[in-house]
């Protein structure tokens, strides 16, 4: 997948197919009209027997505002706790159970925190540590590109956290977007590209500033100084679709991923409600199905209040999309949905221990630091 997302007939066709799949098979964020149009529609192709070749596990975090990152971090903290309990390993981290992370805006920062390599070769942050970081630095992340803000200071928050780590140093495949004013095109910071070429490798602290840039342009360069980007945020509106496109086109790292039936997707994000009291979407979970989570974030809450609101949202029951059957009020809370998804991740991890063929073959990047 090229770092610059240039439009083409083939890419447009692929994007259309993926969005069609998301709408008709996984039903991510469908509205009532779309639900009504496909209710009762049978699957076009028979599903692959469970466990036949494994599933690529994708984590996508859709950034909206800085507060959306808090809701995603709360959900991932709950998920990480469940994975530790189920696996019996207290050192487990989110990156251990996902094969690729894709995130935009604050969601990109969260992905970078969870999937960057730490000093011992393990993930840099746990989900709980990432939640604490976002909670403490919410306002500064929102203003990361101000000339008087943290991006321009060597002692800035991104610099202190990531140091000289680059995209290539990520433990696993990672996608973080921005928009490049130099080319007028979307730019995808991709570990797969960074491993292949220095001109596509950037400091992680710069990548985080770029994806959070908003409409304030940030000038950054690749590690070899040859690639210059004038970055603003909002390069990709749907990191889930970008992640699926990347996986299905990257046969070197995902040789057995041929369609959406080979994917296990957790998509966390903050949609935008039409007006206050409408609720933003917290999460969309697809694991042989789909589920919507909603949050009740209101403007004006304190930092601690927003975390409490996110945690409270996990106890709610929301409208659940049932494949080919429309929608109904879920019988499970959002926390129970995450618990169920943790079970899917554990089962896939156990399946791989006995598999003769790898589901994922990650390109070698930087050695442990």
pLDDT tier at 291 (50, 70, 90 boundaries)?
very low
Pick from 296, 231, 267: which is nearest to 29 by CA? 267
Find all residues with CB under 8 Å of 61, minimum gap 6, and list them: 69, 72, 101, 102, 103, 104, 107, 108, 110, 111, 239, 267, 268, 269
Cβ–Cβ < 8 Å for 345, 57: yes
Is 338 inside a domain boundary?
yes
Among all residues, which ones are annotated catalytic?
104
Residue 43 pLDDT > 80: no
Find the mean pLDDT for residues 15-37.
41
Query: At 100, which CATH number?
Result: 3.40.1090.10
Find all residues with CB under 8 Å of 283, minimum gap 6, and list them: 71, 72, 75, 266, 267, 268, 269, 291, 292, 293, 334, 337, 338
* Number of domains forming the structure of the chain: 1
Is 134 inside a domain boundary?
yes
pTM: 0.76
Find the mean pLDDT for residues 340-367.
90
For 234, left (φ over 0), alpha (ψ -120 to 50), or beta? left
Residue 130 pLDDT > 60: yes
Residue 250 pLDDT > 70: yes
Find the mean pLDDT for residues 300-309.
51
Identify the pLDDT of residue 263: 95
pLDDT tier at 366 (50, 70, 90 boundaries)?
low
Residue 231 pLDDT > 60: yes
pLDDT, tens digit (0-9, with 9 covering 90-100), for 86-115: 999 999 999 999 999 999 988 999 999 999
Is 7 inside a domain boundary?
no
Is 113 inside a domain boundary?
yes
Identify the pLDDT of residue 297: 38
Identify the pLDDT of residue 318: 58
Identify the pLDDT of residue 67: 64
Is 76 inside a domain boundary?
yes
Is 16 inside a domain boundary?
no
Range(s) of the domain holding residue 253:
59-271+278-354
Residue 270 pLDDT > 50: yes
Is 366 inside a domain boundary?
no
Is 335 inside a domain boundary?
yes
pLDDT tier at 76 (50, 70, 90 boundaries)?
very high
pLDDT, tens digit (0-9, with 9 covering 90-100), for 309-353: 555 555 555 545 444 445 555 566 778 889 999 999 999 999 999
Identify the pLDDT of residue 304: 54
């Amino acid at each position: 997948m090229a770092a610059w997302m240039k439009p083409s007939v083939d890419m447009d066709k692929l994007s259309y197919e993926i969005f069609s799949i998301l709408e008709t098979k996984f039903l991510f964020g469908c509205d009532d009209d779309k639900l009504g149009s496909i209710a009762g529609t049978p699957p076009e192709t028979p599903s692959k027997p469970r466990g036949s070749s494994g599933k690529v596990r994708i984590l996508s975090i859709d950034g909206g505002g800085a507060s959306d990152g808090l809701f995603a971090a709360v959900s991932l903290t709950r998920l990480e706790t469940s994975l530790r309990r189920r696996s019996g390993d207290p050192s487990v981290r989110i990156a251990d159970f996902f094969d690729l992370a894709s995130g935009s805006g604050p969601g990109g920062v969260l992905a970078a925190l969870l999937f960057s390599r730490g000093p011992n070769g393990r993930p840099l942050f746990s989900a709980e540590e990432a939640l604490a970081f976002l909670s403490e630095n919410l306002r500064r992340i929102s203003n990361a590109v101000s000339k008087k803000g943290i991006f321009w200071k060597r002692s800035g928050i991104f610099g202190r956290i990531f140091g000289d780590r680059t995209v290539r140093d990520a433990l696993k495949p990672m996608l973080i977007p921005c928009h490049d004013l130099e080319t007028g095109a979307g730019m995808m910071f991709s570990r797969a590209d960074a491993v292949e070429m220095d001109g596509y490798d950037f400091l992680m602290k710069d990548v985080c500033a770029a994806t959070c840039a908003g409409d304030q342009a940030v000038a950054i360069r690749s590690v070899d100084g040859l690639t210059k980007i004038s970055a603003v945020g909002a390069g990709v509106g749907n990191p889930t679709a970008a992640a699926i496109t990347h996986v299905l086109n990257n046969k070197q790292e995902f040789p057995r991923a041929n369609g959406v039936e080979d994917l296990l997707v957790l998509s966390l994000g903050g949609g935008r409600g039409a007006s206050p009291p409408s609720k933003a979407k917290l999460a969309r979970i697809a694991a042989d199905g789909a589920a919507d989570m909603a949050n009740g974030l209101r403007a004006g809450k304190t930092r601690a209040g927003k975390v409490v609101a996110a945690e409270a949202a996990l106890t709610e029951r929301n409208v659940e999309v049932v494949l080919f059957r429309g929608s109904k009020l879920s019988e499970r809370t959002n926390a129970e949905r995450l618990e169920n998804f943790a079970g899917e991740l554990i089962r896939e991890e156990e399946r791989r221990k006995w598999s003769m063929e790898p589901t994922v073959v990650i390109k070698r990047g930087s050695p442990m630091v």
